[in-house]
Amino acid sequence: MQEGFIDPGGVLVVLSDPSVVGQLVSLTGLPALVRSAVKAIGLLGVFFVVLWMLERRSGADRGRYLSRNFLHDCVYTLFYQGGFYNVFIYAAVANALQPRLAMFELDLLRFLPAPVDFVLYWIILDFLGYWVHRLEHANPVLWSFHSVHHSQERMTFLTTFRNHPVGMLIANLIMLIPVLVLGIPTRVWLILYVMQQAFEAVQHAELDWGYGRLYPIVVSPRFHAFHHGREARYHHRNYGKLLSVWDHVFGTATGGVRPSRFGVDGLPMRESLISQLVSPFRMIWTWGRSVVGGTTPAAGSVALTAGRASVPRSEG
Ligand SMILES: [Zn+2]
Ligand SMILES: [Zn+2]
């Protein structure tokens, strides 16, 4: 049991440690989930006010917050940050897998003093997160789900939570074994988790912040804006989650003037929750048939084809 790993009120439930499954399951009571959701809304409300004022100063289009796109991102946010995904999807799967993965529980970081253990954990997971993200763009099945995140054409800070539940589950499960091998440092975890979430949310705000000389090291809103750029030459770049240094090291970084158009050209997905939930399965079906039939994917699945470009070349 990892003390302090979960907010006792259940507002923030961390995704990746099966040892918390017992705690997660104990949150399945409706009152706990409602409390969790209310707290998440309160925290995000404060965050919204701060970003709204910052975006106002930078002249951003605040009409985005009145759009259907924003409403959908609110639903995703409530689903993930309110604890519903963790309780009803992740906990059930991780709970079933945990007995089979016991051999991986090496807890290697326990030999290191704080805060070295946490810093190392954070860097290793960010490095793996970079490669998982690249895989999500290179593998047709994973791209089908991940493209939901890229379907937002009017990004706000809540777009960070626009993720298909199946894609989210696959990404979490890929990270499960590394997390078990390392073991999760418990000290100061919760506050850093909140900071990480806030940091990733800011990346999706309409702020042209590049963080100056830190641009090649940490992911800024400008850096991540390229990743959401409408053209393929942009959205198969800048995969970093927290550190942009991986993109610079492995030749997938791009920069310049912040793109103004977001989304993916040719993505067969409409701005509706049903379409976003169902379209990935249709994309996979189309791709599967093209593979079996030895034909190229149909024009409607152009985004899927683009997603299969495994290792983008550096623009230099
Ligand atoms: Zn992506
Ligand atoms: Zn994003």
- pLDDT tens, residue by residue, 250-274: 999 999 899 989 999 888 899 999 9
Q: CA 293, CA 301: separation in Å to the nearest integer?
A: 15
| Averaged pLDDT for residues 79-90 | 87
pLDDT at residue 156, rounded to an integer: 96
What is the distance, to the nearest Å, from the Cα of residue 123 to the centroid of all Cα atoms in its chain? Answer: 16
pLDDT score at 188: 62
For the stretch 182-195, pLDDT in tens is 987 776 667 777 88
pLDDT for residue 26 is more than 60: no
| 132 CA → ligand 1 middle, Å | 10
Instruction: Give distance in angstroms: CA of 4 to centre of ligand 1.
Output: 31
Distance, CA 239 to ligand 1 centroid (Å)?
A: 6
308 and 283 Cβ atoms separated by less than 8 Å: no
Mean pLDDT across 279-308: 71
Answer whether residue 13 is part of any domain: no
CA of 293 to the centre of ligand 2 (A): 34
**pTM of the complete model:** 0.84
Instruction: Supply the range of the domain harboring residue 253.
Output: 18-307
Instruction: Give how many domains the chain has, as a whole number.
Output: 1
Res 22 pLDDT > 70: no
Residue 243, beta-bridge partner list: 218
**Band of pLDDT at residue 30, cut at 50, 70 and 90:** low
In a domain, 64, yes or no: yes
Residue with tokens 């100061």: 188
Expressed in angstroms and rounded, the spacing between residue 210 Cα and the centre of ligand 2 is 15
Per DSSP, the three-state class of 244 is: coil
Residue 163 Cα to ligand 2 middle (Å) = 9
pLDDT at position 1 over 60: no
**Ligand nearest to the Cα of 142, by number:** 1
Residue 4 lies in a domain: no
Cα 113 to Cα 109, 118, 124, 179, 237, distances in angstroms: 8, 9, 16, 18, 36
Contact 215, 233 (CB under 8 A): no
Spatial distance between the Cα atoms of 180 and 184, rounded to a whole number of angstroms: 8
**Greater pLDDT, 307 or 136:** 136
Query: If you average pLDDT over residues 35-54, what whole number do you get?
Result: 84
pLDDT, mean of residues 43-64:
90
**CA 221 to ligand 2 centroid distance, Å:** 10
Q: Kindly state whether residue 3 falls inside one of the protein's structural domains.
A: no
Asked if 237 and 222 count as a contact pair (C-beta separation under 8 A), the reply is no
CA of 226 to the centre of ligand 1 (A): 10
* Cα 17 to middle of ligand 2, angstroms: 23
List CB contacts of 107: < 8 A, sequence separation 6 or more: 182, 183
Cα 267–chain centre separation: 19
Task: Name which residue leads in pLDDT, 199 or 8.
Answer: 199
Query: How many angstroms separate the alpha carbon of residue 229 from the centre of ligand 2?
Result: 10
Nearest ligand to the C-alpha of residue 156?
2
The rounded distance, in Å, linking the Cα atoms of 2 and 27 is 16
C-alpha of residue 150 to centroid of ligand 1, in Å: 7
Looking at the chain, the whole-number percentage of residues with pLDDT higher than 70 is 81
Any domain includes 162: yes
Q: Please report the pLDDT score of residue 13 as a whole number.
A: 39
pLDDT tens sequence across 88-112: 898 888 888 878 888 888 888 888 8
Residue 159 CA to ligand 2 centre (angstroms): 7
Torsion over CA: 220, 275, 272, 265 (sign):
positive
Cα of 310 vs centre of ligand 2, distance in Å, is 19
Q: Is residue 193 part of a domain?
A: yes
